[in-house]
């Protein structure tokens, strides 16, 4: 068995490039109370692009304008280049006012995403979620077994899930299994880095959000998707903790009994 290598993954390696002739554009803007004074603030996302229609941006920066004073604060994420950067405002930390969630697509074949959450504490904005820290913390191993089974071992969480891949069909299975279902040789897959981080309403009345984190499970290559690890995250006072872990698979066509 081997651990996934997401802690060695360089998010900028697939999409990063420098364009010295780019211009700064407004990429997204949202309005909401992010400072806890009951007055709406304006949160804007700026970045440099070759043209207004380009979906790739670099030097992405968050600018927060206080709704009362008009003063501004800026935040520059560590990984600040990518595709389709967006803002989501919602109360993730149970503070009673909005936190700032930033999402950026890597644009690479792995489908990785860069995600940050910033929360107002002690008159400044502090990072309360970092996708890279999440990827480093949660480890997985993927092992093929006899009879067309694949074990998904959530090492950090001490949980085991077993996938039945018999639906993959003869052409796929015959590469790795004998006709009697015995594995030809030891085989491993991988759980890739975080690809989606979706806000999930926890309490509709108070507008508190949890987070659903998606990571793709692959077999012998990047195009061989076996399923998805889904971790439900909730704020625990200091960090986001895993409430539940699920493994989901893609559906196959129904086989008629008639």
Q: What is the DSSP string of 91-141?
A: BSSSSSS-EEEEEEE--STT--EEEEEEEEETTEEEEEEEHHHHHHH--EE
Q: Are 99 and 91 in contact (CB under 8 A)?
A: yes
pLDDT, one tens digit per residue, over 217-240 is 999 999 999 999 999 999 999 999
pLDDT, one tens digit per residue, over 149-178 is 999 999 999 999 999 999 898 999 999 999
pLDDT at position 255, please? 63
The pTM assigned to this predicted structure is 0.87
Q: What is the DSSP string of 74-97?
A: EE--SS--EEEEEEEEEBSSSSSS
Distance from chain centroid for Cα 149: 26
Residues paired with 91 in a beta bridge? 208
Separation of alpha carbons 159 and 161, rounded Å: 7
- Report all structural domains of the chain as residue ranges with CATH numbers, in order of start: 13-134 (2.40.128), 139-248 (no CATH)
Average pLDDT for 35-47: 97
Residue 179: φ, ψ to 5°:
-60, -25
pLDDT, one tens digit per residue, over 196-217 is 999 999 877 778 999 999 999 9
């Amino acid at each position: 068995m081997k651990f996934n290598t997401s802690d060695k993954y360089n998010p900028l390696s697939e999409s990063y490039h420098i364009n010295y002739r780019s211009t700064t554009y407004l990429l997204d803007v949202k309005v909401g109370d992010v400072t806890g004074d009951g007055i709406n603030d304006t949160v804007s996302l700026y970045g440099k692009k070759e043209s207004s229609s380009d979906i790739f941006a670099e030097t992405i920066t968050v600018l927060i304008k206080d709704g009362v004073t008009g003063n501004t604060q800026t935040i520059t994420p560590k990984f600040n280049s990518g595709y389709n950067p967006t803002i989501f405002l919602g109360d993730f930390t149970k503070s009673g006012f909005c936190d700032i969630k930033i999402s950026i697509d890597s644009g690479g074949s792995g489908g990785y995403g860069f995600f940050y959450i910033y929360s107002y504490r002690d008159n400044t904005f502090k990072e309360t979620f970092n996708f890279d820290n999440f990827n480093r913390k949660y480890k997985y191993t993927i092992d093929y077994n006899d009879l067309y089974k694949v074990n998904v071992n959530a090492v950090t969480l001490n949980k085991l899930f077993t996938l039945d891949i018999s639906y993959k069909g003869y052409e796929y299975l015959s590469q790795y299994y004998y006709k009697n279902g015995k594995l030809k040789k030891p085989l491993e897959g991988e759980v890739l880095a975080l690809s989606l981080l979706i806000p999930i309403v926890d309490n509709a009345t108070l507008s508190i959000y949890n987070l659903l984190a998606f990571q793709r499970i692959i077999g012998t290559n990047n195009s061989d998707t076996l399923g998805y690890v889904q971790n439900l995250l909730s704020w625990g006072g200091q960090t986001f903790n895993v409430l539940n872990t699920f493994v989901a698979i893609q559906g196959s066509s129904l086989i008629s009994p008639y």
